[in-house]
Structures are given as C-alpha cells and as structure tokens.
Amino acid sequence: MAVFAPLPAHIGAFFQLGDYGVAFFFVLSGFVLTYSMRPTTAKSTFYWRRFARIYPLHFVTLLLAIPVFYSFTPDPQDWWVKPFNAGILMLSVVLLQGWSRDPAILFSGNPAAWTLTVEAFFYALHPFLAAGLTRMGRRGALIAAGVVAAVTIGIRVVVQLDPGGWVAMLPLPILRLNEFALGMCLAWAFRLGWRVGVHPWWSAAGIVAVGATFVIAEQLAPETPLFTIVAMILPAAMVLLFGALIATTSAAEIAGRVRWMTWRPLVALGQWSFAFYLIHATVIYSARTLFGFQNPGWMNLLWFGGLLAVAIAGAAALHLLLERPVESRLRAWEARRRQRRALRRPRRAGESGPVILPGEGSR
C-alpha cells in the first residue's frame, strides 16, 4: 500500500516487515507438505496435484495483471508499467521468472508470482528430500533442523556483510531453500511425536519483539553498530521464529487449545489466501492508476479498508469459481487415469482382491 496510499512515516516503517510473510509461507509450505505426505503417493501424482493446486489460478491472475503492469506505450511517470515483452512474459507463464535477479524479469507478469517459481523448485525437490528425511528418527530430524537453522543464520550474516557478493546474488529458489527445508525437518520430527511445550503466543511475541527492535533501531540509530547487528540478525531470527510459531501452533491445535482457529470465517480466509496473494498487487496498482498517488496520512486507512474488501471479494470469487472446481476436476482426471492404469496392470501370481489406489486423498 505504500506505493499508493502510505500511512505516516513513523508507523509506515513497520510495514517494511511485511516482506517476511514470504519467508513464513516458505517455512509453512515445507511443514504442511511433509506433515501431510503419504509414502504410497507416487511422484507423478504429487507433481500433478501441485500443478492442479497452483497453476490454473496463477495463469488466470497473470492474464488479469497484464493490462495493469504492461503497455505498448508506457508512460515514464507510471514506473510500475513495463513495455510489453512477449519473451519475458513467457518466463512468467512457465514459472521461470524467479531464477533471474533482474527486476524486469523477476517481477514480470504478475509481480507477486515470483514466489511460485521458488515453490515450483521446492515441489520438484520435495519427494527426494523427503526420501532422505524419512530415514531419520525424531532426534535425527531435530538435528537436521538445527543444521538448517545454522545454515540460515550463516547465509543471512554473509548476505548482510557482502550484499553484492555471490551468495546474495544466488537465484532465489536456491537462496530460500533453507526456509522450506526447515519446515520439512520440523514437520517430520512433529510426525514422530516431538512437541514444543511452549504456548504459541510466546513465538508470536518473539516475532513482534524482533521486528519492533529492528524498526526502533533503524529510526533512532540508523548509522550505529547496534543497527548493523540488529539488521544482520533480523532475517535469520524471523525465519527461526516462524518455525517455532508453526510448530507451537500445530502442537496447540492437536491438543485442542486453539479452537478459535476452526472458526468458519477464518477457515474461509485461509482457503481464499492463495487467490488473495495473487491478486492483491493487481488491485493496489489498479487503484494507483485510477486515483493517483495519495499523500501520506491517517485518512489512507480508508483506502486500506476499501482495497482490502475488494481484494478479499475478488479472492473469494476466484477461489469458489475457478480455483476449487478446476483443482477438483484435474485431481479427479488424474485419479481416473491411475485407476485405468491399475486395472490394465496384469496381476502377479497369487494376487487377489480389488486394486488399491495408492495415496488417495493426500495433498
């Protein structure tokens, strides 16, 4: 919203931390996919289900974004509008734009969709990483999580010390893999009975405290060693605290201590969240195009509320009319294909009974 209707600077500084929602999602993705996986699910089935879940909505929201972010004759004052380039757009169509660090490519098409390049890479690796992870016991998974945590800290320190170095310039799918791997390790330990005896609010409080420390240090002491240290710690600390929040919340949910999370409106917002993510930038920049930049001020909270309502309504429509029915049909088609293949498979000597389809119902 800062590109359209920013709030006063002293409060707007906190919103720069919103970027860390992407890191939270990467950790959560590794956790959920690993917690819900079934050993009997074939790799081809897993990949098809990921395609059915992600791609149809990506393609439609890409089409919606093109008129907002591209023009054959862009106005230089509209810095977010890029010259139409079919070749670059094709990278977005096939989810390869996130392998480039050039902003014109990385944020091509629907600018929010660069994260799907990273997710597609994670999906490609997940069955192979999971095969190694499932050979570990609970202690091994926790040790692996500790190693990933140490790598996370090391990467962020190196990037902070040398922001133009080769580590910082690695393609984002590789640079962010540690976040996905952390979620995977925690999930496998969780599946094997590991639980964190800490209330989720402590993890949430840690996230707020770390974020507030960074913003306050940036505002009061931006050129001091203190701020340098805080800025160096912040990215890794947020990732590790996200892992803690996910693990503690999952433990509390299984124990029945967070029943408010099953409140129907919250569940619906969760179901719509992928569509919301993919259209929010299109909604905001459309408003910027139609109404122009709004001067900073508290009255912009009206724009916040209005565009939030528009984006949620659009996300609900996309989920109910496109995302859910298309995914269901694609999954059903793949299930019928597997069933036909299983029925054509010759029985081995001594086999009897019905053909059992592996992995039905897994994510």
**Residue range 169-194: average pLDDT?**
96
Q: pLDDT per residue over 10-20, tens digit each?
A: 888 888 899 99
The percent of residues in the chain predicted with pLDDT above 90, rounded, is 77
Please give the Cα distance from 322 to 314 (Å, whole number).
Answer: 11
Q: pTM of the predicted model, to two decimals?
A: 0.90
Distances (CA, A) of 218 to 21, 131, 226, 235, 296: 20, 43, 9, 15, 20
**Residue range 197-214: average pLDDT?**
93
Cα dihedral 249, 255, 259, 264, rounded to 10, equals 80
Extents of the domains making up the chain:
10-262
Please give the Cα distance from 237 to 329 (Å, whole number).
Answer: 41
Q: pLDDT per residue over 117-127, tens digit each?
A: 999 999 999 99
Judge whether 38 and 96 are in contact, CB under 8 Å: no
* CA 220 to chain centroid: 32
193 phi and psi angles, rounded to 5 deg: 105, 0
Q: Name the residue among 335, 362, 357 with its Cα closest to residue 345.
A: 357
Residues 6+ apart with CB under 8 A from 135: none
Mean pLDDT, the chain, integer: 91
Write the DSSP symbol of residue 39: T
Q: pLDDT per residue over 129-180, tens digit each?
A: 999 999 999 999 999 999 999 999 999 889 888 888 999 999 999 999 999 9
